[in-house]
């Protein structure tokens, strides 16, 4: 027995745990295992002498037991040295002495001698300030003590580090309001320990998001802390009070979360002497809000000061402290306290703030908020939990843009969910959390603030709404031109101001704002912003300096060509509305299309405005009659939108006649109104001028009547445009205008655009020219060398330029005047068209498989001119599939089968800790010429910190190290190499390398989803397994980011009902039958299947109440074990394939079995069967899971299982043929590294495998 073991026994003997005779003579490590297991299970009290336990101080015992535990660690590197042991025992003795001699403790104050005197208050001063702790000054109380609000003198700036350096300097004081916490005395010392801890912690902290400690008082038995006064109370106060929480907008809530995160980052990343603090009690009650809503962390009584030298930044404690619903589940189950324990608690607070309720609110039942939040996030139903008050916090933004910006909410929810990961290693750092919360805040603030314009700015820009600036008006509003000042200087705008007395402005502004913020198009007036101040309702448009269209109808300077272009603009804007905008959602009906609703900019481009009466088509159709008293929230209109259409206010003369019958408007009503505008443009006057307001016949009716009678509208054509058009142009225009009036149900805005464009083409190109399309095309081609302006817009983007050239050549050749003397041969026509088809087919087949920026990528390559010699997309695809070196010589780019970008970055971009650890070797087969030869593969120390530039968004990628051995003897595929590396502060392993091609191997390090081209990637490569990879060198070519198939490994589903065995029945195997297909399942016990199971050197037999068998077997340290048994053929269904599962558990003290395990079938000669199955007893990372690997899964009976073998009950394979009525099983399981100690085997189950059925897999 080692000296450390003897010392440990003496340690625990001193606790009265056992006497020397109780240690088994033949097992020197028996007691060490016993003590370790009880300590790890937190059951050490079961071993301690009860009388002795009563005498112990809890903190002293924890330190003593922890010291002993680390002395008996299995690995000597994990054990303490004697200096550490001495230091810890002295601390335990000091605590025990204080516990046994409290009078000595009070006499020798622990806060003295620690430079805290500058923080000490006299009790007299505090009693004077609080009128002897009068109830009048008390602002809170609880189990810990009471809090008072008073005025006290304190240091102007508390900075203990600076004060230590300026001990003799004069320090200024000031009087201000403070919070005074008077802590109750307790028998268990926890109050005193928390008091001292808080002083020690807060005296080291100076941060705007951590509450400041002004001082303390410890006279007599008093424990008083004096803090800065934080006027708005705790976050919990707001979560408990719905009315108070309502006042916090979403942006304010996210900012509060950012404040907390900054405070936590400060604690976690080191303060004085680079120490860090784990708060251990993050919850909404411990987050205070000052008068400007700045959040501050408070209550450090449970905090742990953490020295940077402590291994892996982990504190192991038996005393679990904190508030249960906020506690890190891993900390609760293992006692391991990390900074990421605070991250979990903070995640709970994030969801509290988003949901508007405390985590333990009764609405969440027994599950609690963390569990419900995780489930809702996975099920994508998180919106059901969002506090509805957030939506109502800002009426404009809430109603029109959904309140919380969706990107903001999604970003916030995602990082909150990640904080609630079950294990500490999966949670983000506070630095990452801050980055994501800032992103969420930016989404929200940018969405809202960029659109708000002050009333002062609008008044100034419109000369206080001067009549001279008014450019249009309707019953309830006026339009004013003006200017506002922004970051780019002065911007010309149009302000639409509703009449404050009408009562219509609020709802109409909301509706118009909503539509303009969602429907962004060049022919729809652009939204600049809004103003809601002092009962004003103003929406601000982009500038339209030429005012409304109705003001120009009778202006002869508005030529026929201009009028046609304006009509095309109006129809294009209307088409965009009717098609549902960019996302093709619901059809939007304008419902008030008229010339005064069309604004004209300085270039006479038309833009549709005035959307206060608009709604989507489903709303309009559902409202058979809608008037001023219409109800709220119809259809998809946001809450509080009133369909206050007052459709009787819509300009008569523009209204579709059927509305008068049905009292509802549809898209056809808009088409009719568009037809009226077309007629107005022809007529040169408004459809319903004041001079004929008593005439029952509107312009639309008159136009239809004239057209029906005379098949023309010559009578009403405006004199100012006569002589500016040709007959064909006018005919196209009039036909579509009348069709809009007579048959709006059969007409679309798209058709209007098409016909008016034809009218425009005739008007621009055919004056005094041949009146047919052929001559026009020839002339256009001869003048401009192309027909781009004449090609139908609907197909223009689909045509390959290489296809269009031969097509136009042959088409124009057929139209030339000399075609009679030089006719086009039919074979030439076929050849040209086949060439055009070949190029077009190439574009449509291979074009989608190329990156959109492939030309830029080739231009950035070392041979950019190659693009000039490659004309077919297929050739480009082939070239990029093979890959190209970029000009920097350090990046190799290639594409996958669907055109996704792969990026290989040279090893020259890596950092090497040891200068002499590598050499640059010329290797002919390397894409970079000279890869790095690493001379010591067990000491790599390669730091990779790079940013990708060419990855495809929306694709799953794997990061692969590309390397090969200098020794050609390593030919296995896959090859076990066990590459150890660090990433994101975590230690990781990649086990297998595969051949990428004939020259290089690839080992996957990580998987990620790419949502952008530029991805930051950082990893530290440490070592390959020396045992499996030898001592030779390796060549490292680089790191490759390559597309992977989005395939998830699905667990094997178990459908048979497990039978529960009676503990009184003694038998060695059980049989069950599937209810569906009667295929039989067989399970054998561990004693039946494990070879040499009675060997106590290799196995330990345990009685079990959790297993269906009376005993299970635990493996002792060994790298190999065998499964050898026989299966009676009569117990199986005939001619059936069976899967064999090892049923197991890992003991609490099992620290191994992270690496894979090989399974060999010993029944077959290696000459015939060299294939080895790979199984895992712990779930591996995705990049370690390869084809045909078996992974463990949870069973319904609480055990785990993993597939290790398969066979056929009778069939083709001679080795599966029954012999002597049974099938032999002979398997050898070998771990690649470490031992299989702690593997507990229950038995082996054999289940039939039916591919399309319900059994097996």
User: Binding site membership for ATP: which residues?
Assistant: 164
Integer-rounded Cα Rg, in Å, for the chain is 41
Is the CB of residue 1109 less than 8 Å from the CB of residue 1086?
Answer: yes
Query: What are the backbone dihedrals phi and psi of residue 915, each rounded to the nearest 5 degrees, phi first?
Result: -60, -35
Distance (Å, whole) CA 493 – CA 476: 20
Beta-strand ranges (E) seen in 1024-1165 are 1034-1043, 1069-1073, 1080-1085, 1099-1103, 1111-1115, 1120-1128, 1137-1146, 1157-1161
d(CA 667, CA 745): 8
Which tokens is 1251 given? 């591919």
- Give CA–CA dist 510/644, Å, rounded: 12
CB 917 within 8 A of CB 908: no
Q: Considering only CA atoms, which of 1126, 1102, 1152, 1122 is closest in space to residue 989? A: 1152
DSSP 8-state code for residue 638: P
With b meaning 16 or more CB within 10 Å and e meaning fewer, what string describes 251-287?
Answer: bbbbbbbbbbbbbbbbbbeebeeeebbbbbbbbbbbb
Separation in Å, CA 319 to CA 416, 588, 812: 27, 63, 90
- What's the DSSP call for residue 429? P
Q: Which helix (H) or strand (E) holds 150?
A: strand 145-155
3-class DSSP state of 785: coil
Start-to-end Cα distance in the chain: 50
1223 touches 1210 (CB < 8 A): no
| 1245 CB-side CA count, 13 A | 29
- Name 376's Cβ contacts closer than 8 Å, sequence gap at least 6: 382, 384, 385
Q: What is the sign, positive or negative, of the torsion defined by CA atoms of 1187, 1190, 1192, 1193? A: positive
Instruction: With H, G, I as helix, E, B as strand and everything else as coil, classify residue 142.
Output: coil
Residues 357, 242: Cα–Cα separation, whole Å: 9
Binding site feature residues: 164
CB 1237 within 8 A of CB 1113: no
Helix (H, G, I), strand (E, B) or coil at 242: helix
- The Cα 814–Cα 837 span in angstroms is 18
Handedness of CA 383, 386, 392, 393 (dihedral sign): negative
What does the buried/exposed string (b/e) look like for 590-620 if buried means 16 or more CB atoms within 10 Å of the residue's CB?
Answer: bbbbbbbbbbbbeebebbbbbbbbbbbbebb
What dihedral angle (degrees, nearest 10) is formed by the CA atoms of 981, 983, 989, 992? -90
Q: Would you say 1028 and 939 are in contact if contact means Cβ atoms under 8 Å apart?
A: no
695 vs 284, 568, 594, 737, 896, CA distance in Å?
A: 71, 30, 19, 22, 71
d(CA 560, CA 538): 35
Nearest to 737 by CA among 569, 571, 574, 555: 571
């Amino acid at each position: 027995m080692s000296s450390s073991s003897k010392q440990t026994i003496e340690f625990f003997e001193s606790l009265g745990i056992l006497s020397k005779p109780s240690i088994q003579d033949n097992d020197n490590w028996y007691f060490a295992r016993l003590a370790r297991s009880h300590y790890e299970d937190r059951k050490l009290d079961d071993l301690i002498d009860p009388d002795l336990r009563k005498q112990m101080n809890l903190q002293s015992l924890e330190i003593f037991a922890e010291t002993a535990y680390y002395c008996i660690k299995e690995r000597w590197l994990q054990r303490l040295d004697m200096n550490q042991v001495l230091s810890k025992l002295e601390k335990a003795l000091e605590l025990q002495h204080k516990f046994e001699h409290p009078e000595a403790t009070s006499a020798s104050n622990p806060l003295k001698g620690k430079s805290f005197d500058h923080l000490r208050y006299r009790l007299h001063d505090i009693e004077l300030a609080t009128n002897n702790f009068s109830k009048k000054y008390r602002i809170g109380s609880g189990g810990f003590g009471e809090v008072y609000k008073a005025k006290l003198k304190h240091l102007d700036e508390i900075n203990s580090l600076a004060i230590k350096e300026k001990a003799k300097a004069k320090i200024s004081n000031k009087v201000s309001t403070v919070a005074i916490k008077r802590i109750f005395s307790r028998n268990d010392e926890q109050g005193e320990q928390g008091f001292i801890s808080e002083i020690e912690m807060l005296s080291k902290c100076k941060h705007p998001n951590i509450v400041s400690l002004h001082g303390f008082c410890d006279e007599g038995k008093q424990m008083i802390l004096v803090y800065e006064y934080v006027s708005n109370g705790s976050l919990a106060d707001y979560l408990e009070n719905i009315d108070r929480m309502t006042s916090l907008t979403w942006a304010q809530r996210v900012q509060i979360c950012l404040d907390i995160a900054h405070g936590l980052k400060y604690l976690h990343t080191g303060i004085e002497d680079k120490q860090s603090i784990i708060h251990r009690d993050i919850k909404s009650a411990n987050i205070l809000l000052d008068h400007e809503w700045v959040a501050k962390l408070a209550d450090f009584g449970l905090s742990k000061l953490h020295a940077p030298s402590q291994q892996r930044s982990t504190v192991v404690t038996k005393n679990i402290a904190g508030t249960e619903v906020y506690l890190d589940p891993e900390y609760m189950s293992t006692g391991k306290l990390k900074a990421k324990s605070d991250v979990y608690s903070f995640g709970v607070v994030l969801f509290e703030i988003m949901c508007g309720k405390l985590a333990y609110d009764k609405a969440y039942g027994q599950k609690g908020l963390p569990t419900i939040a995780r489930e809702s996030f996975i099920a994508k139903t998180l919106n059901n939990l969002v506090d509805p008050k957030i939506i109502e916090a800002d009426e404009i933004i809430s109603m029109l843009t959904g309140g919380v910006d969706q990107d903001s909410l999604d970003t916030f929810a995602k990082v909150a969910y990640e904080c609630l990961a079950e294990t500490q290693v999966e949670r983000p750092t506070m630095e990452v959390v801050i980055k994501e919360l800032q992103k969420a805040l930016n989404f929200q603030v940018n969405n809202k603030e960029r659109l708000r314009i002050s009333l002062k700015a609008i008044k100034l820009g419109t000369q206080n709404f001067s009549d001279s600036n008014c450019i249009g008006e309707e019953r309830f509003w006026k339009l004013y031109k003006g200017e506002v000042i922004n970051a780019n200087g002065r911007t010309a705008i149009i302000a639409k101001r509703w009449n404050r007395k009408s009562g219509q402005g609020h709802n109409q502004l909301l509706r118009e704002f909503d539509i303009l913020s969602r429907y962004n198009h060049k022919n729809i007036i652009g939204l600049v912003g809004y103003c809601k101040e002092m009962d004003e309702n103003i929406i601000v448009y982009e500038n339209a300096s030429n005012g409304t269209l109705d003001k120009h109808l009778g202006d002869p300077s508005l030529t026929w060509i201009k009028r046609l272009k304006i009509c095309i603009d109006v129809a294009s804007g209307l088409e965009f509305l009717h098609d549902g905008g960019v996302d093709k959602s619901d059809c939007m009906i304008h419902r008030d299309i008229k010339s005064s609703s069309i604004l004209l900019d300085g270039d006479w481009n038309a833009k549709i405005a005035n959307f206060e009466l608009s709604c989507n088509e489903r709303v309009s159709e559902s409202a058979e009659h809608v008037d001023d008293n219409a109800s709220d929230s119809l259809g998809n209109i946001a809450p509080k939108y009133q369909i206050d259409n007052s459709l009787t206010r819509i300009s008569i003369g523009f209204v579709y006649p059927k509305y008068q019958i049905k009292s509802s408007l549809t898209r056809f009503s808009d088409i009719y109104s568009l037809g009226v505008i077309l007629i107005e443009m022809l007529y040169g006057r408004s459809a319903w001028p004041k001079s004929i307001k008593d005439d029952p016949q509107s312009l639309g009716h008159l136009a239809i009547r004239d057209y029906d009678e005379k098949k023309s509208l010559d009578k009403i054509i405006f004199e100012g445009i006569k002589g500016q058009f040709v007959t064909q142009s006018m005919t196209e225009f009039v036909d579509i205008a009348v069709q809009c009036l007579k048959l709006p149900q059969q007409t679309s805005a798209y058709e209007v655009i098409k016909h008016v464009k034809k009218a425009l083409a005739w008007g621009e190109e055919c004056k005094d020219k041949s009146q047919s399309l052929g001559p026009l095309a020839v002339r256009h081609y001869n003048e401009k060398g192309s027909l781009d302006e004449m090609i139908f817009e609907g197909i223009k983007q689909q045509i390959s330029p290489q296809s269009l050239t031969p097509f136009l050549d042959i088409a124009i050749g057929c139209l030339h005047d000399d075609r009679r003397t030089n006719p086009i041969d039919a074979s030439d026509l076929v050849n040209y068209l086949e060439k055009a088809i070949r190029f077009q087919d190439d574009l449509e087949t291979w074009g989608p498989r190329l990156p959109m920026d492939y030309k830029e990528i080739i231009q950035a390559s070392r041979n950019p001119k190659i693009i000039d010699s490659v004309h077919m997309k297929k050739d480009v695809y082939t070239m990029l599939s093979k890959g190209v070196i970029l000009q920097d010589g350090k990046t190799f780019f290639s594409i996958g089968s669907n055109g996704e970008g792969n990026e290989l970055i040279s090893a020259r971009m890596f950092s090497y800790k040891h200068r002499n650890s590598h050499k640059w070797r010329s290797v002919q087969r390397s894409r970079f010429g000279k890869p790095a030869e690493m001379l010591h593969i067990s000491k790599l120390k390669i730091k990779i910190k790079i940013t990708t530039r060419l990855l495809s968004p929306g694709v799953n990628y794997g990061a692969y190290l590309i390397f090969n051995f200098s020794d050609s003897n390593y030919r296995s595929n896959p090859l076990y190499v066990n590459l150890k590396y660090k990433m994101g502060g975590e230690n990781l392993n990649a086990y297998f390398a595969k051949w990428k091609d004939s020259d290089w191997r690839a080992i996957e390090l990580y998987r990620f989803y790419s949502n952008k081209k530029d991805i930051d990637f950082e990893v530290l490569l440490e070592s390959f397994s020396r045992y499996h990879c030898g001592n030779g060198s390796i060549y490292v070519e680089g790191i490759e980011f390559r597309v992977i198939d989005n395939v998830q490994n699905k667990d094997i589903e178990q459908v048979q009902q497990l039978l529960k065995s009676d503990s009184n029945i003694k038998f060695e195997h059980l049989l069950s039958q599937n209810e569906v297909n009667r295929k039989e399942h067989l399970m054998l016990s561990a004693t039946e299947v494990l070879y040499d199971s009675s060997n106590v050197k290799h196995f330990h037999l345990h009685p079990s109440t959790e297993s269906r068998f009376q005993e299970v077997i635990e493996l002792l340290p060994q790298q190999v074990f065998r499964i050898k048994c026989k299966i009676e053929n009569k117990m199986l269904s005939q001619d059936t394939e069976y899967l064999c599962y090892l049923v197991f558990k890992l003991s609490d003290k099992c620290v191994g079995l992270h690496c894979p395990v090989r399974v060999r079938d010993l029944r077959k000669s290696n000459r015939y069967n060299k294939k080895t199955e790979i199984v895992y007893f712990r779930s591996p990372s995705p990049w370690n899971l390869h084809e045909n690997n078996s992974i463990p899964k949870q069973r319904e009976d609480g055990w785990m299982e993993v597939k290790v073998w398969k066979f056929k009950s009778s069939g083709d394979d001679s080795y599966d043929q029954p012999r002597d009525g049974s099938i032999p099983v002979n398997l050898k399981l070998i771990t690649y590294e470490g031992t299989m100690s702690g593997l507990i085997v229950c038995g082996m189950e054999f289940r039939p495998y039916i591919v399309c059925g319900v059994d097996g897999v």
